[in-house]
Chains A and B, each alone.
Chain A
Amino acid sequence: MNTHQRFTLTQSQKMMVFILSMSLYGLSNMITELIPKFYLGPIELSVEYFAFIPLSLAMIFHPLYAAIGASLGEVIFGEIMLGQFGGIGELEKFIAFSLAIFIAGVSVRNPENKKQVALGAMVGVILHQFISMSVDILKVWVGVEELEAVEGLAESVVVIEGLAFLNDVLFSGILFALLPTLYLVPRLYGKIEPLLGMKPRKNDLQLGLSDIVTVPFVLATVVLGSLSFLFEYLSETTFGWEWEAPLVDRFGEWIVFPMMAIPVIVALVVVSYLVKRKGRKDTDGYSEVV
């Protein structure tokens, strides 16, 4: 245990990983914003993001700090500096992306094992795209008042977002996450760590994969699932009768939505807390060997 303790990341090393991930992914984000898109019919051939940067950093260094740094880099370079910061909407992206990269990084136990690296990269991309797809679908389902009244809208949203999901996973996922990560991780492993004054992550010391990957993963799916259920359930019931002010009478439904925002916020807070706690356990324990 003592020897493991010695390899635990210090505060400033975490900061180094954070800054490294932030500036690199931020820069790449600016570049991808500028690369033009191509359309082959409904299929969009675009460079969605250079996911390989945070993915390979999360596999080589501490997954949590690499993930959060990358998300922050995206917000700063890609949004604030280009003047397109979306406020609260960015929070969802931030959480989804951090979670996906974190899980991808944690699931790779041995950066020299190509199979694990490939699997981790794909897991990260699929998870991220899945979360953003679900959020997009929910946005329309909640934002449009009488969804059932409009024939075909509910299905069409699912179809469009589903197509975009497949497109992103298959095109961006393979070309810009899987292949570059496979190219970079073995090259960087053992080379980049000394530059930050760390030792490479060791192969023989492994994270307890089963209990780390599943908890946030299951939690995220459960949260997402219950959220969609909640939205559906609440839209059926009317809370309007409890309120007698003429204002609310008139806008009976919207009173429901702030109420629904509460579980959403609670869920997000819980997820981020858990992720953080997991990350901390990760360093306090014996897993992060640097």
Chain B
Amino acid sequence: MDVVKTLTDKLSIEQVKIELLNTAYGYHHTFLQRLDPRTLFLWYLVFGVVPFFIHSTPVLIGLAAFLVVLTIMAKVSPLIIFILTLGLLTQGGSYLIVGLFFGGNVTAMLPLLKLTLKLSVISMASIVVFCSMSPEKLSDGLLKIGVPGQVSFSIGYAYRMLPTLVEEYHHIFLSYRLRGKKPAKKGLFYSRHLFYYIKLLIKSFYPLMLSVAKRSRTMVEALESKGSLYGFNHPKVKQLKLQHLTIKRRDVLFFSLSISYFIALIWLS
């Protein structure tokens, strides 16, 4: 009984909508947020990739400690950290169990722990970088490093359209519920109800597809009339748009300090 109750509570799209908007639009002001996106990309290239090829435990531990500090500084939402740890633990754990089944022993734990450490360093690096960039900054940064203008436009468009889309989808879903009828029998573990709801979720996409098609046509025609399709990848337009991006002293400091920490770690071990 309660399973479906809590499930329908969770599926109460009103609640979900609020949660979503909170995650998508809530940003903190942190030190990392003031850095130039290019610095962050470059930093990520080092700290998000190189650790994968490091097999020395002390270096990995040192990196993990550094990244934990940065993660705290970036004020990453607890939910994301929770998801990260859960994912790492369950994956490592399941490998371990099946590994034991195939005749391994507990020493299997050690290399696995190392791998988990490595993966958590890498994921922390990406969380730190991409959580401390607001959408405008991310799209400007991407545009600056040569990603096509369509991509950065899409990021902006997505942020603009999300509330509208969610609202519309919710309306369609509600109207399907209004016209339909829940199955009278609950089925095993409420499976009938569950399948009914999932079917509605899927069916609701049909009207949505048609209306989004109309909307995207309007959008593209508006873009066309403003010459945006031409301007997306025009160097002069880009230059004008990205004027505000400048590398400041704190960028240089942040990057050089963290790199020297990295090198010192390798040197010391």
Contact = CB atoms under 8 A, between A and B. Distances in A.
- The secondary-structure label for the interface of chain A is helix
Given A36-B10, A83-B130, A15 B95 contact: no
Contacts of B161: 23
From B7, B83, B159, B202, residue with most partner A Cβ within 10 Å: B202
Contacts of A83: 23, 76-77, 80, 127, 130-131
Contacts of B100: 152
A195 B214 contact: yes
Interface string B128-172: 011100010010000000000011001101110110011001000
B229 A11 contact: yes
B115 A187 contact: no
A260 B229 CA distance: 39
A89 B126 contact: yes
A16 B216 contact: yes
A211 interface: no
Contacts of B77: 83
Interface in A1-50: 11-13, 15-16, 18-20, 22-24, 26-28, 30-31, 34-36, 47, 50
Given A15-B150, A50-B202, A184-B206, A81 B24 contact: yes
Given A143-B52, A253-B55, A20 B162 contact: no
Given A19-B219, A87-B44, A26 B158 contact: yes
A257 B135 CA distance: 33
Interface stretch (A108-116, A155-163, A218-226, A278-286): A155-163
B99 A156 contact: yes
A232 to B, nearest CB: 17
A195 B219 CA distance: 13
Interface in A46-83: 47, 50, 52-53, 57, 72-73, 76-77, 80-83
B39 interface: no
Contact of B111 (A12, A89, A146, A191): A146
A84 B128 CA distance: 10
Contacts of B103: 151-152
Contacts, number: 211
Interface string B93-114: 0110111111111011001101
From A73, A84, A251, residue with most partner B Cβ within 10 Å: A84
Contacts of A84: 80, 83, 127
Interface string A179-194: 0100110011001100
Contacts of A266: none
A195 B213 contact: yes
Contacts of B159: 81
B213 A88 contact: no
B125 A87 contact: yes
Contacts of B166: 27, 30
Interface in B24-60: 24, 44, 48-49, 52-56
Measured as residues with beta carbon below 8 angstroms from the partner, the interface class of chain A is: 35 or more
A30 B115 CA distance: 29
A158 B133 CA distance: 37
Contacts of B114: 144-145
Contact of A15 (B11, B16, B102, B229): B229
Interface stretch (B63-71, B220-228, B254-262): B220-228
Contact of A85 (B130, B206, B221): B130
A152 B104 contact: yes
A196 interface: yes
B208 A24 contact: yes
A262 interface: no
B266 interface: yes
A160 B203 CA distance: 33
A198 B146 CA distance: 31
A88 B205 contact: no
B198 interface: yes
Contacts of B223: 12, 15
From B83, B101, B119, B212, residue with most partner A Cβ within 10 Å: B212
Given A144-B111, A176-B202, A151 B155 contact: no
B213 A151 contact: no
A146 B129 CA distance: 31
Contacts of A72: 151, 154
A153 interface: yes
A77 B165 CA distance: 12
Interface in A230-289: 247, 250-251, 253-254, 257-258
Interface of A: 11-13, 15-16, 18-20, 22-24, 26-28, 30-31, 34-36, 47, 50, 52-53, 57, 72-73, 76-77, 80-89, 140, 143-147, 149-153, 155-157, 159-160, 175-176, 180, 183-184, 187-188, 191-192, 195-197, 247, 250-251, 253-254, 257-258
Given A153-B99, A153-B111, 20 more contacts: A12-B223, A19-B219, A20-B209, A23-B161, A24-B208, A24-B209, A35-B11, A53-B209, A57-B209, A83-B23, A87-B48, A150-B99, A151-B103, A151-B105, A152-B101, A153-B112, A156-B99, A197-B217, A251-B56, A254-B54
